[in-house]
Structure 1
Amino acid sequence: MIEELRIEHLGVIAAASVRPGPGFTALTGETGAGKTMVLTALEMLLGGRVDAAISEGASIEGIWSVPPDGPAARMVQDAGGLVDDGELLLGRTAANGRLRAFAGGRMVPASLLAEVGEHLVTIHGQTTQQRLRNPAAQRGALDRFGGADHLHLLEDHRAAYRTWQELDAQLREARTRQQENAQRMVFLRSALEEIEKVDPQPGESESLHAERRRLANLADLSTATAAASSAVLGDETTDAAGAAHLLHLAARELASVDDPDLAALHARLVSLAEEASEVGRDISGFADGLQDEPGRLEWLNQRVHDLSLLHQRYGADDDAVLRWSQEAAAELTALERGSDLEALHEQEQKARRVLDRATVDLSASRTALAERLGQDATSELQQLAMPNATLQVVVKPADLGPDGADDVTFLLAAHPGATPAPIAKAASGGELSRIMLALEVVLADTDAVGTFVFDEVDAGVGGAAATAIGRRLAALAQSAQVIVVTHMPQVAAFAGTHLRVLKQQDADVTVSDVRALDDEERVVEIARMLAGQEDSQHAREHARELLAARL
């Protein structure tokens, strides 16, 4: 429960300490005094939106007593914060346009405050009442009524729905890809057949280009090699000696004399002569290979053309084409193996069967809970000055979604003989307030939240209805901390702790403070709420009667 709420520089509140009691606490004050700021501070502290117009420079701290092993304590400790002997400190500041959130003495994301707050406080205001008109909110109330066992069914359904939805999306995507893959496989097969037919070899194009250039220059090559061969080996037709022969003759001349210096030169001449002879033979061999094979040039041109087409389509050269071919073959193998649509379809069908069972179980549980919730809420309404009203909770089939396949509608029959109609149409503002309170009283036993905050739950009611609301809030406060912002003296009279928001105004500034009232001060405040006059003796007597009647 909330032990203390400290507020600084928020709207009209300069500094205030709010200490609600453990049971029923009433928060009252004149219109415009700043009661809303107290709720705004609490909502900010629990990760809510921050209005920059009223929050600049604000500092808010809240102290809760929580079970040391409870979910709120665990969440804060998991984030690195401290929970000292069951005391949890939350904080929120706004300065220079920057917002900060704290939990257990550690800076945390504001989203963590919201998550922790779900285990600490339930806040009901005018917007909450309007949400109760929404079918989704009505279904949520029914689910809360089911407690842990029912909520486990809901979580199982959400998990089954996510699993089925993922598999269904995969299956639809695989079916879409199947046609695309079929077109891709046709292309890959055609390309691989084309490459296999040409059968390129590594580096082949380069050698083909060289051979083609040689054949194109065959006449020039023949003339050049013939002249070079004659110059080196000699010309038999003219008996002209070649360079090799002349070198051998020079070597024999030097060999005919005995001189140590000439011996080295002789050796060099012999080496040159042998090298010249070898070069000459190589030239002759090259010349002998220059044969103009019929059709060879045409074949070369066609081969180069075929390889060039492969280069244009699949790679810059022969090696690139061969690499592409290997990769394409691997891709084709993978595509032929495919995504196994049959297996994926089987998985999707299995997940759908699990989902269908979860949907049936969840709907059956809601149907059983609906009758109980209607009966319990009707019983509560009869104690809230609606003695002839009945609340029916109807569960009907709806489109399948994460939260099941049920539409939940709250129907109100305000008096005997009335046709039950959706509360969004049949309930007035005051009736809607009492329906919400009846639901909260019924749901209190299933909620782990220790604090309920009501903002003008008595709006639109008065007299006996307000007294009934006060009595039921006091009943709820037997098992939880209840904080109520109210304008109704009949409601405030049932509170065990009474806080008043006081507005102080001078020429330039209006500020508010929060004070705990003693017994006599309560009489004065309730008198003000009754008659608008604190010094009215008649109002004070009536106030004492209200306070005495609650005991």
Structure 2
Amino acid sequence: MLRALDIRDMLIIDRLELAFQPGLNVLTGETGAGKSILLDSLGFVLGWRGRAELVRAGAEQGEVVAEFGLSSDHPAHAILDEAGLPGGDELILRRVNRSDGRKTAWVNDRRCSGEVLRRLSETLIELHGQHDDRGLLDPKGHRALLDAFAETDAQRAEVRMLWSAVGKARKGLETAEAELAAVRDEEDFLRHAVAELDKLDPQPGEEAELDIRRRMMQGAEKVRESVVRAHEIMGSGGAEGAMGDALRWLEGAMADTEDLLTAPVASLERALNELSEAVDGVERSLEALEFNPHELEQVEERLFAIRAMARKHDVVADVLGTFAEELRGRLAALDAGEGNIADLRAALNAAQADYDKAAEALSAKRKAAAAKLDAAVMGELAPLKMERAVFETSVRDAEAGPDGRDQVEFVVATNPGAPAGPLGKIASGGELSRFLLALKVCLTSDDSNVTMIFDEIDRGVGGATADAVGRRLKALADGGQVLVVTHSPQVAALGAHHWRVQKRVENEATLSEVVPLDAGARIDEVARMLSGDTITDEARAAARALLG
């Protein structure tokens, strides 16, 4: 509920403080007194786009402060939380417009953007009138209004969930089809590469082992030549044979030399034994250094094959086996791909069928509610002297989406047989006002948290019709808050709280002010609205009769 509005230096308002009340709040006054300025100022603090120049002439800046009371379940709390702004049961909006055009806004004394103000305003205020393109005249919001009337929250939640499931299933199918297409494009390569790798069958660490064996065999041939030459010199045809001959000669001479050769012979025997062991070791080394030249060719051939395969696939030789497994996995995916695609397509079809069923049920509920809404609006139009008018809630097929596949629009015909069309284009000014009022009466719930503002919605009507308009505005205000700007005495007389907007001249400057009216002042104001500038006793008597 809007509790207070404080306006400073806006257009022709220098300082204005208004305290609004629950129920029907009425603003009256002569044309040009400044009633529209109040709405412009309220729209400014709510972040609405309006006049470019709002600052009063000669002032450095204009400022508007609006105070709202919030219930614990008011939707504005969610917006405040999301924006990181302080909440509570009181919401104070403040916005400043400087003379150079700069605008600054605060919510509960915390700086915020104009976008946050606009989002909050959607939960706080509804403005209805002939030039209202944000509310009932905007076809984009008609489906939401019908859904609120039909109470489709549960059905729409189910449709949204199923729409999401359809999207996920479709994305999964598209991804799988793309992956399968990519694999199919390289199928020939995969099969050839896997066949090559399977034939080669490289093992982890094999390339390093082959390289070591190759190097050993390449070096063994040169080493063996030196060992063979050493063996020839050391063996029986060389040093070993010569030392054996020397030992036999010395042993033959020992008998004639007494002990002279004993020590040399012993040393020579020891040396001959050591040489014999050395020859045995060399012979064993020669056996170890023997290799098959064909084996070297085989090792080199496999080593080069493994290295060539690694270069071909741009991988390290040790991971060729892992790489082969990866390629086999891609081939398996290709072979299993068609079956997987079939499963995913079946899942998409099932999800789509579930969505279609839920969307169809939602459409049926909307169409049933549309018929009830049409009947309710038609019932409201008769007392408003529009019993020959036709109101219809059009529910047509539209592109499927998260909220179903219905396009909803309110269409009217002012007389039977006349062509029907959009609400804002077919009805004249007075007719449009009454259509909007009848529709709003039928759509408003008892627990509405929104303050409704009707800007001269009674224009073009009078007498019993104006009285019917006023009574419906009063009914809308019961348990809530309605502000109405009116020129109709019948409407003004039904208000619970009444203000008069008037002009005054101060220091040769024209200023607008708003005066709260007590019971006596209300009689005079309603009498003025009935008779014009000159208030007669008859007009006062008629005003008293209207005020009851």
**Where does residue 67 of structure 2 map in the other structure?**
62
Partner of 2:428: 428
**Counterparts of 1:25 and 1:423, CA distance in 2:** 27
State the secondary structure of the residue aligned to 1:200: coil
**SS class of match (2:293):** coil
Distance 1:52 1:386, change over 3 A: closer
Give the percent of matched residue pairs that are identical in Structure 1 and Structure 2.
31
Q: Secondary structure at the match of 1:201?
A: coil
CA deviations on 1:283-324 (whole Å, 9 max, x unpaired) are 6356433x533x853x55543443233212334431132332
- Map 1:88-237; keep pairs closer than 5 Å: 88-93=90-95, 102=107, 120-126=124-130, 128-129=132-133, 132-133=136-137, 135-146=139-150, 148=151, 150-183=152-185, 187-209=189-211, 222=221, 225-227=224-226, 230=229, 234-236=233-235
Which structure would you say has the larger Rg? 2
Which residue does the alignment assign to 1:401?
401
For residues 164-209 of structure 1, give each alpha carbon's deviation from its aligned partner in whole angstroms, at most 9, with x where no partner exists.
3332343344334332344456544433322121122334334545
1:58 CA drift (Å) = 4.1
CA distance in 1, matches of 2:498, 2:275: 127
- DSSP-derived class of the 1:400 partner: strand
Task: Work out the CA distance in 2 between the residues paired with 1:333 and 1:519.
Answer: 90
Q: Could you tell me how far apart the structure 2 residues matched to 1:192 and 1:507 are?
A: 98
Structure 2 residue matching 1:5: 3-state secondary structure:
strand
1:356 maps onto 2:343 in alignment: no
Residue equivalent to 1:307: 306
The whole-number CA distance in structure 2 between the counterparts of 1:42 and 1:58 is: 11
Change (3 A) 1:416 1:208: closer
Distance 1:542 1:205 in 2: 114
Q: Residue 248 of structure 2 corresponds to which residue in structure 1?
A: none
For 1:249, the equivalent position in structure 2 comes to none
Q: How far apart are 1:484 and its partner, in Å?
A: 1.7
Paired residue type of 2:359: T
Query: CA contact under 8 A between 1:119 and 1:448: conserved in structure 2?
Result: no
- For the 8 Å contact 1:45–1:90, the answer to whether it is kept is no
Matched-pair contact (CA < 8 Å) for 1:125–1:454: yes
**Residues 422 and 80 (structure 1), Cα distance of their counterparts in 2 relative to 1, 3 Å cut:** closer
Q: Alpha carbons of 1:47 and 1:233: their partners in 2 closer, same or farther (altered >3 Å)?
A: farther
Equivalent position of 1:370 in the other structure: 370
1:486-507 deviation digits (Å, cap 9, x = unpaired): 4555544442322345566778
Residue 412 of structure 2 is matched in structure 1 by: 412
Q: Contact between 2:74 and 2:449, CA under 8 Å: does it hold in 1?
A: no
1:437 positional shift: 1.0
CA contact (8 A) 2:524 2:535 kept: no
Deviation per residue, 1:13-68 (Å, 9 max, x gap):
555332223221123456676545544555566675699975977463413153x4
C-alpha separation in 1, matches of 2:521 and 2:499: 10
Classify 1:277/1:13 alpha carbon distance in 2 versus 1 (closer, same or farther; 3 Å).
farther
CA–CA distance in 2 between the matches of 1:198 and 1:508?
Answer: 105
Report if the CA contact (8 A) 2:41-2:64 is conserved. Answer: no
* Count of aligned positions: 513
- For residues 328-370 of structure 1, give each alpha carbon's deviation from its aligned partner in whole angstroms, at most 9, with x where no partner exists: 4455556655583444334333333332332332232233222
Q: Secondary structure at the match of 1:537?
A: coil
Distance 1:47 1:232 in 2: 107
Q: How many Å apart are 1:537 and its aligned residue? A: 1.8
Task: Summarize deviations over 1:213-253 as a string: whole Å, max 9, x none.
Answer: 677x67xx6455433664588355972589xx9xxxxxxxx
Show the counterpart of 2:392.
392
Q: Partner letter of residue 496 of structure 2?
A: G
Q: What is residue 545 of structure 1 aligned with on the other side? A: 542
Question: Which whole-Å CA distance do the structure 2 matches of 1:19 and 1:153 have between them?
Answer: 42
Distance 1:157 1:240, change over 3 A: same
1:202–1:401 CA distance, 2 compared to 1 (3 A)? closer
Asked if 1 retains the 8 angstrom alpha-carbon contact of 2:125 and 2:453, the reply is yes
* Contact 1:26/1:483 (8 A) holds in 2: yes
Partner of 1:322: 321
Q: CA deviation at 1:435?
A: 0.8
Question: Does the C-alpha gap of structure 1 residues 173 and 22 become closer, same or farther in structure 2, counting only changes over 3 Å?
Answer: same
Cα shift at 1:439: 0.4
Deviation at 1:385?
3.5
Distance (whole Å) between structure 2 residues aligned to residue 398 and residue 340 of structure 1: 33
Residue equivalent to 2:482: 482
CA contact 1:129–1:436 (8 Å) conserved in 2? no
Change (3 A) 1:240 1:526: farther
State the AA in 2 paired with 1:128.
Answer: D
Question: Mean alpha-carbon deviation: is it higher for 133-142 or for 106-115?
Answer: 106-115
Is 1:494–1:547's contact at 8 Å kept on the other side of the alignment? Answer: no
Any idea what the Cα deviations from partners look like across 1:46-92, whole Å, max 9, x if unmatched? 675699975977463413153x4666668878979564xxx433434
Counterpart mapping for 1:213-362 below 5 A: 222=221, 225-227=224-226, 230=229, 234-236=233-235, 239=238, 280=282, 284-285=286-287, 287-289=289-291, 291-293=292-294, 296-297=296-297, 299=298, 302-330=301-329, 332-333=331-332, 340-362=340-362
- 1:103-140 per-residue CA deviation (whole Å, 9 max, x = no partner) reads 6x888888777666655543324553576455444433
Query: Are the structure 2 counterparts of residues 193 and 510 from structure 1 closer, same or farther at C-alpha, using a change threshold of 3 Å?
Result: farther
Structure 2: how far apart are the matches of 1:307 and 1:152? 65
Question: Are the counterparts in 2 of residues 373 and 393 from structure 1 also a CA contact under 8 Å?
Answer: yes
Call closer, same or farther: CA 1:539–1:370 in 2, change over 3 Å: farther
1:250 aligned partner: none
Change in CA separation of 1:438 and 1:17 when aligned onto 2, cut-off 3 Å: same
RMSD: 4.9
Where do 5+ consecutive residues of structure 2 fail to align? 56-60, 245-262, 265-270
Secondary structure of the residue that 2:4 maps to in structure 1? strand
In the superposition, relative to structure 1, how do residues 330 and 175 fare at CA in structure 2: closer, same or farther (>3 Å)? Answer: closer
- Contact kept in structure 2, 1:5 and 1:17, CA below 8 Å: yes
Structure 1 residue runs without a partner (length 5+):
246-255, 258-268
- 1:483 is displaced (CA, Å) by 0.7
1:153 and 1:239, CA in 2 relative to 1: closer, same or farther beyond 3 A? closer
The aligned counterpart of 2:18 is: 18
CA distance in 2, matches of 1:139, 1:404: 10
Aligned equivalents of 2:53 and 2:349: distance in 1? 54
Please give the TM-score of this superposition, normalised by the length of structure 2: 0.73
| TM-score with structure 1 setting the length | 0.73
Partner SS state of residue 132, structure 2: helix
